[in-house]
């Protein structure tokens, strides 16, 4: 109702019917957010009144029972009691379904539920004192990203191998241009390299900003490698082994995977999810130099594992990004629904 209903009806129903239904979907979507602001709840309180008035012009009087009227009180209830996730009935309904599955003797359903519940509690109590047995309390999560072979506690955070890849690994040779782009992306996201970036830009002669970006993209990796090597030979104290290995660039051989788990989230490549019912290839990146809040949407194509000197590894996502420019990349229709081309 919150996401799919507006997409399904916006091209099928007349505007006077579609508009209040989409407003109702937006109401529940904003109401079910993890964080709520008092001002937003006051705005929802005002909007839901107008939405229900529009619905009264469409649906017959028999549609408006007490459940529809309760929508008016939901913003005030959330303002008093907090986010709705802690109060809605979904966990209770799921638990009632579990109790219903305990029934074996339909002549005495209450006794069947009581006996099965006691047995389940006894097994749960005993399992807490059994060592070496996986239970629902100690087994790892499905999207557990603890990589046993990861390299942690490195001098540089970028070499802390967080997460674990999925699927069969395929070893290939990096294209020189892709190697340069991947290495430059790694350098841009390493805070220990940022002072060298400023030093490189300061060493350039006066030129336009666009020319500075071109020189940076083409010359900085080579300049950093030579500069760090020279500082290391001079015995500079701030040049660590990790920094020297990073500046040297990745080796030409890399490993490719079809999925990755990181921070409790599971990502699949587009080819991996072709035969699956769920979609996990969508990615979102927010912010750039011009607008920190600008959102970029893309599809995960490959998961790369770059290897540096000393068997240090960095995982990257190779994505196909959509055009998000205002005129040619996406459109916003009359119902404030964004369509990315």
- Domains in the chain: boundaries: 4-86, 90-127, 149-170+252-341, 175-249
pLDDT of residue 284 exceeding 90, the answer is no
At residue 154, the pLDDT reads 63
At residue 47, the pLDDT reads 92
Query: For the packed helices 38-56 and 15-31, what is the interaxial angle rounded to 10 degrees?
Result: 150
At residue 102, the pLDDT reads 93
Tokens of 30: 């904003």
At residue 261, the pLDDT reads 92
In 53-155, DSSP assigns E strands to: none
State the pTM of this model: 0.71
Give tens-digit pLDDT for 147-159.
655 555 567 788 8
How far CA 236 is from CA of 178, 229, 231, 241, 243, in Å, comes to: 31, 10, 5, 11, 12
How far apart, in whole angstroms, are the C-alpha atoms of residue 9 and residue 51?
17
Give tens-digit pLDDT for 15-54.
888 888 999 999 999 998 888 889 999 999 999 999 999 9
At residue 149, the pLDDT reads 53
How far apart, in whole angstroms, are the C-alpha atoms of residue 303 and residue 316?
6
pLDDT higher at 173 or 130? 173
How far CA 288 is from CA of 5, 29, 294, 332, in Å, comes to: 32, 27, 7, 21
At residue 288, the pLDDT reads 66
CB atoms within 10 A of CB 150: 14
- Nearest-CA neighbor of 317 among 331, 334, 293, 300? 300
How far apart, in whole angstroms, are the C-alpha atoms of residue 149 and residue 99?
42
**Candidate from 83-92, 115-124, 264-273, 291-300 with smallest mean pLDDT:** 291-300
At residue 278, the pLDDT reads 85
How far apart, in whole angstroms, are the C-alpha atoms of residue 236 and residue 335?
60
Give tens-digit pLDDT for 64-97.
888 888 889 999 999 898 888 888 888 899 999 9
DSSP code at position 84? G
């Amino acid at each position: 109702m919150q996401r799919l209903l507006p997409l399904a009806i916006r091209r099928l129903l007349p505007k006077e019917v579609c508009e209040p239904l989409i407003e109702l979907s937006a109401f529940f979507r904003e109401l079910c957010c993890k964080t709520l602001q008092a001002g937003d709840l006051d705005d929802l309180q005002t909007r839901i009144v107008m939405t229900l008035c529009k619905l009264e012009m469409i649906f017959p009087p028999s549609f408006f029972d007490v459940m529809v009227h309760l929508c008016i009180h939901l913003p005030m209830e959330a303002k008093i009691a907090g986010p709705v996730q802690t109060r809605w009935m979904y966990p209770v309904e799921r638990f009632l379904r579990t109790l219903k599955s305990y029934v074996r003797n339909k002549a005495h359903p209450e006794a069947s539920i009581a006996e099965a519940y006691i047995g389940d509690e006894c097994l749960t109590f005993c399992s807490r004192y059994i060592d070496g047995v996986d239970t629902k309390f100690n087994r790892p999560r499905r999207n557990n990203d603890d990589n046993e072979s990861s390299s942690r506690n490195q001098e540089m955070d970028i070499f802390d191998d967080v997460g674990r890849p999925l699927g069969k690994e395929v070893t290939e040779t990096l294209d020189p241009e892709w190697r340069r782009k991947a290495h430059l992306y790694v350098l841009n996201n390493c805070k220990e390299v940022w002072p060298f970036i400023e030093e490189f830009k300061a060493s350039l002669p006066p030129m336009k900003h666009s020319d500075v970006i071109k020189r940076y993209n083409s010359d900085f990796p080579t300049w950093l490698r030579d500069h760090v090597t020279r500082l290391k030979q001079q015995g500079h104290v701030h040049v660590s082994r990790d920094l020297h290995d990073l500046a040297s660039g990745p080796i030409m051989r890399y490993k490719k995977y079809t999925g990755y788990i990181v921070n409790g989230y599971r990502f699949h490549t587009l080819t991996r999810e072709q035969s699956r019912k769920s979609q996990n290839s969508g990615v979102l990146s927010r912010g750039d130099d011009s607008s920190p809040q600008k959102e970029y949407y893309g599809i995960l194509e490959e998961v790369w594992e770059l290897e540096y000197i000393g068997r240090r590894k960095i995982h990257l996502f190779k994505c196909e990004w959509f055009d998000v420019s205002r005129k040619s990349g996406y459109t916003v229709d009359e119902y404030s629904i964004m369509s990315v081309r």
